[in-house]
Amino acid sequence: DAKTTQPTSMDCAEGRAANLPCNHSTISGNEYVYWYRQIHSQGPQYIIHGLKNNETNEMASLIITEDRKSSTLILPHATLRDTAVYYCIVRVEETSGSRLTFGEGTQLTVNP
């Protein structure tokens, strides 16, 4: 699986958009980008994933650059409850179950 690089921490004002970057310059053509988040002392929660097109769901938007070497997770109107560690994961969408490799992620702090 391709390696990802994320900033260690970020801050965002409540109500503003939070833009979390992820670099994955060695991504392969069949690898997807996945985002999870983990609120303190809880289990991680799946947010969104994509291959090359931008994706949006009720939680967030995922913007993938045309060369697919980086992506940005956007929380359009951050709330205090969005304070969490956000993990960017790149892997093949395999048909058989296997591991997710979680790095250290980005600690997002939403401030009032």
Partner 1 sequence: DGGITQSPKYLFRKEGQNVTLSCEQNLNHDAMYWYRQDPGQGLRLIYYSQIVNDFQKGDIAEGYSVSREKKESFPLTVTSAQKNPTAFYLCASSIQGAAYEQYFGPGTRLTVT
- Contact between 55 and partner 1 per CB under 8 A: no
- Contact between 67 and partner 1 per CB under 8 A: no
- Contact between 87 and partner 1 per CB under 8 A: yes
Which residues make Cβ contacts (< 8 Å) with residue 63, sequence separation at least 6? 54, 71, 72, 74
- Contact between 94 and partner 1 per CB under 8 A: yes
Closest listed residue to residue 10, CA positions, set 107, 104, 105: 107
Choice from 1, 49, 55, 72 touching partner 1 (CB under 8 A) = 49
- Contact between 50 and partner 1 per CB under 8 A: no
Contact 55, 62 (CB under 8 A): yes
